[in-house]
Amino acid sequence: MGLAVDVVKRRGQRKTEPFDPDKLHASVYAACLSVKSLDGLAHDTADRVCDAVILWTTNKTEVTSADIRRQAAKALETFHPDAAYLYQHHKVIM
């Protein structure tokens, strides 16, 4: 399934790119593993978050990377609050 959503990177300073659910999945999965989630739970959580973000992009042709991060964090909060905190604050913590 190809998504026809372009992602505006870093306040428009970088070229847009197509939305890639695999990149989102990898970042959510990594956040889950960072808070010691089991591998299976981390994959399931990342799948659910990606599904929520994909649904949110319906009828959108362009979103920002910050929009995606906010929507992913919102969904992640529902499924894994500890991972959501890390995901939201990763740039401050790391």
CA-wise closest residue to 4 among 26, 23, 21: 21
User: What's CA 34's distance to the chain center, in Å?
Assistant: 15
Provide the pLDDT confidence category of residue 94 given band limits of 50, 70 and 90: very low
Q: Is 10 left (phi over 0), alpha (psi -120 to 50) or beta?
A: left
Q: What is the mean pLDDT of the chain?
A: 89
List, for residues 34-57, the tens digit of each pLDDT value. Answer: 999 999 999 999 999 999 999 999
- What pTM value is reported for the model? 0.86
